[in-house]
Amino acid sequence: MNRYLILGDSHLVALLDAARELGTARQVPSEDGLFSVHEFVLEAQQAHLVFVMPLAGAPSLVMKYDREGFSMSPAYAAQLRAALALLGAGPVTICSVFFGNEHSAFSIADHPVPFDFLRTPDDAPCPAPVPRQIVPLAVIERKMADLAWRPEVYCRVLKLAFAGQRVLHILPPPPIEDEAQVKGDPEIFGPLFERYPVAPALLRLKVYSVYCRVVEERLRAVGVDIIGAPAAACDNGYLARPYWREATHANGPYGTLILQALGVL
C-alpha cells in the first residue's frame, strides 16, 4: 500500500475534500489541540493517506526560528511522529502544500502606480485602460525570490526530518480570470478591494507564472520534486471555472486531479 503524509495549510483543503469523496476519514485527535489530523485508508486505490494541518494557520505552529536557524516546532514534530506511526512501516511520500498565496498578496489588487512587465520580448502587455509602468522582469524575479524562501525553507526542513523519503511540493492553483468571482468571494482580500481594483487577469497570471518558476527552480535544486497545476484544470493558463472555490483557492475536483498526479488514483 502506498503511503502519503500530506502537510500544508489552506491549499491542502482541496486535497482533503477530494479524499473525502473517495472514502471516510478517521479524524485523529490532536493531543495539544493545535492541528487537524485526518486519516484515510483507501483499499481500492491501495493508498494510505494522513493529512496534518495547523488549525490556526500560524507559521509558528509549524516552524521556529532561533540562532541555529529554522527548525520544526516541537509540537509539530510530535504530531508528525504520531502521523508516521499511523502510516506504519515502509516508504512514505511527504507532500508539502504549504504557502502558495504570496503571489496573490503581491498582485491580486492593482498597485497605486499600475505596472506591467514582459516575460519575453514578445509577451503580451496587459490590455488595461490605464497607462502602466513597465517594470524589468528581473525586478519581478527578485520579488518572487524574496517570497519563495518560505516554501524552500519548509521543504528543506522536511527533507532533513524525513531523510531517505521522497519530499515533493505542490504548487498553488493558477489565478481565476473572472473579476466578479475574485471580488465576490475575496477571502482576506476584501479590505484591499475597498481601496484598489482587482489587478488585470493577465498581470496576475504573469506574476503567478514567475512565482511558480522561481519556486520550482529553488526546490528542484535541493532535491524536492514538484507538482504543478494539472493541464486539465486550466483554461488559457487560468483556473477553469469547474475548479473555483473562492478568490484564490481551488475545490475538491481540483484536489482529485492533484491526487491523480501524486499517483493516489
Which residue, among 76, 87, 77, 97, has the nearest Cα to 34 in the 3D structure? Answer: 76
Residue 169 C-alpha cell reads as 511540493
pLDDT digits (tens, 9 = 90+) for 210-223: 999 999 999 999 99
The average pLDDT across 221-229 equals 97
Planar angle of CA 40, 45, 51, nearest 5 degrees: 25
Q: What is the pLDDT of residue 71?
A: 85
Q: What is the pLDDT of residue 70?
A: 78
pLDDT digits (tens, 9 = 90+) for 121-131: 999 999 878 88
Which residue, among 77, 72, 46, 50, has the nearest Cα to 59 in the 3D structure? Answer: 72
CA distance 54 to 63: 11
Burial level of 63, CB count in 10 A (0-12/13-18/19+)? middle
% of the chain with per-residue pLDDT over 90: 79
pTM value > 0.85:
yes
Band of pLDDT at residue 31, cut at 50, 70 and 90: low
Q: What is the pLDDT of residue 25?
A: 87
pLDDT digits (tens, 9 = 90+) for 135-152: 999 999 999 999 988 899
pLDDT digits (tens, 9 = 90+) for 57-98: 666 678 877 666 778 888 899 999 999 999 999 999 999 999
pLDDT digits (tens, 9 = 90+) for 148-186: 888 999 999 999 999 999 999 999 999 999 999 999 988
Which residue, among 7, 17, 11, 139, has the nearest Cα to 83 in the 3D structure? Answer: 7
Q: Which tops the pLDDT comparison, 186 or 242?
A: 242
Which CATH fold would you assign to the domain 2-100+145-190+210-262?
A: Rossmann fold (3.40.50)
Q: What is the pLDDT of residue 58?
A: 60
Q: What is the pLDDT of residue 246?
A: 95
